[in-house]
Amino acid sequence: DGILNSLDTLTEEEQLLQESVRRFANEVVAPKVREMDENEMMDPEIIKGLYEQGLMGIETPADYGGAESSFTAAIIAIEELAKVDPSVSVLCDVHNTLVNTIFRKHGTKEQQEKFLPLLSESKLGSFCLSEPASGSDAFALKTRAEKIGDDYIINGSKMWITNSYEAEIFLIFANVDPSKGYKGITCFAATRDMGIQIAKKEQKLGIRASSTCTLNFDDLKVPAANIIGGVGQGYKIAIECLNEGRIGIAAQMIGLAQGAFDKAVPYTYQRVQFGQPVGHFQGMQFQIADAATDIAAARLLTYNAARRKEEGKSFTKEAAMAKLVASRVAQSVSGAAIEWAGGVGFTRETGIEKYWRDSKIGAIYEGTSNIQLQTIAKFIQKEYS
């Protein structure tokens, strides 16, 4: 195991998890990556495999069917899956760091008893915040929830919802009282059988096996008992959970960069031009060394943010920095990896070009790079003025 693939600070348990996810990714996911990308569809067997591996409730208490492991363990799994397929990685990431986390942290005992075992055993989750007219300005969402008797009636539309094509459980953010602004935003747990329909499935540049859909809610009836964390608490729940989720996306991006690196670098030592392996030319060696350093730096930022979160320290600024840097590194390393393999890197056969296509999303979802910069800037201003 090279220095790029390991961190000195992982516990024995975390190392074992890392090895088992790596094995699953290489043996089960890898053979299907190209087909899933071309078909723009996740293979249901992969989702089933993630459940069998115990990766769909990593932090969930054992009493609710989960692995009761650490946040860092969830991050390790995301990174390892992304080395092989960033689409599979984000499916697991959203399910764990967003959906499971919200039930675990904010659900009542009854809600946890009802939903967490399902989420650990077989039912996929999705996190429905963004809308056609509110992406970065997420708290300006227009989806409304109106109380009628013991139920809420939800009307509106959500856009860009990861996992929503396959999901059974949906966390929907809707405003119950727009006169209160974002303090009316409330989080509802809904299930597909309540009548959730897919309005459109996106065709994308990258992470094509990961589903991204628009959902329209037309008088969707959700029991008041399915409100998570209390009326008006939704905005806080969403952003606090996204602070954690951003560490997950950073992990996805470093895994992606590492995956591209691992595919392209060995090729440079095999490909001979001018009588020697192209990887022996200093012009290549320095690019490779730069890329290795960038990945290591992004990884340290990411795991530092994860450990801070685990230790109960502030981590919002660190999470934003990790996501910002890791998504830049993913894009630059995967782009360079294509060039290191020359024409071969440009074909779909090697899979290197796919990492580059997949890398672009890192600077967009869970807060664009400008939103991460804005978050970091707010902290700096507070600290220095």
* Residues of this chain that bind ligand FAD (CB under 6 A): 94, 126-130, 135-136, 160-162, 204, 212, 361, 364-368, 370, 374
127 binds ligand CAA (CB under 6 A): yes
Residue 161 near which of ligand FAD, ligand CAA, none (CB within 5-8 Å, type-dependent): ligand FAD
Q: Tokens representing 81?
A: 């899956």
239 binds ligand CAA (CB under 6 A): yes
Dmax (CA) for the chain in angstroms is 80
Sign of the dihedral through C-alpha 184, 185, 189, 193: positive
Residue 119 near which of ligand CAA, ligand FAD, none (CB within 5-8 Å, type-dependent): none
Site string for ligand CAA, 259-298 (x = CB under 6 A): ----------------------------------------
Bridge-partner residues for 151, per DSSP? 148, 223
42 binds ligand CAA (CB under 6 A): no
138 binds ligand CAA (CB under 6 A): yes
Q: Tokens representing 38?
A: 């071309």
Which residue matches tokens 């390892």? 80
Residue 375 near which of ligand CAA, ligand FAD, none (CB within 5-8 Å, type-dependent): ligand CAA
How many residues line the site for ligand CAA (CB under 6 A)?
A: 20
18 binds ligand CAA (CB under 6 A): no
Site string for ligand CAA, 148-167 (x = CB under 6 A): --------------x-----
209 or 242: CB nearest ligand CAA:
242
Residue 243 near which of ligand CAA, ligand FAD, none (CB within 5-8 Å, type-dependent): ligand CAA
Could you give phi then psi for residue 269, rounded to 5 degrees? -90, -10
Q: Extract long-range pairs of 41-49: CB within 8 Å, 24+ residues apart.
A: 41/209, 41/211, 42/87, 42/88, 42/91, 42/165, 42/166, 42/209, 42/210, 42/211, 43/209, 44/166, 46/88, 47/91, 47/124, 47/166, 49/24
CB 362 within 8 A of CB 253: yes
316 binds ligand CAA (CB under 6 A): yes
Span of 3-11, 136-144, 260-268, 283-291 interacting with ligand CAA by CB under 6 A: 136-144
Residue 153 near which of ligand FAD, ligand CAA, none (CB within 5-8 Å, type-dependent): none
**Which residues touch 215 (CB under 8 Å, ≥6 apart)?**
128, 157, 158, 161, 164, 170, 196, 197, 198, 199
154 or 284: CB nearest ligand CAA:
154
Q: Tokens representing 276?
A: 């020697």
Residue 366: active-site member: yes
CB 201 within 8 A of CB 213: yes
Judged on CB neighbours under 10 Å (0-12, 13-18, 19+), 149 is exposed
CB 173 within 8 A of CB 129: yes
318 or 366: CB nearest ligand FAD:
366
Map the footprint of ligand CAA across residues 81-100, applying CB under 6 A: 90, 94
Question: Could you give the C-alpha distances from 222 to 70, 98, 154, 155, 248, in angstroms and in order?
Answer: 32, 20, 7, 11, 29
139 or 165: CB nearest ligand CAA:
139
Catalytic center residues:
366
- Residues of this chain that interact with ligand CAA (CB under 6 A) are 90, 94, 127, 129-130, 136, 138-139, 162, 235, 239-240, 242-243, 316, 365-367, 371, 375
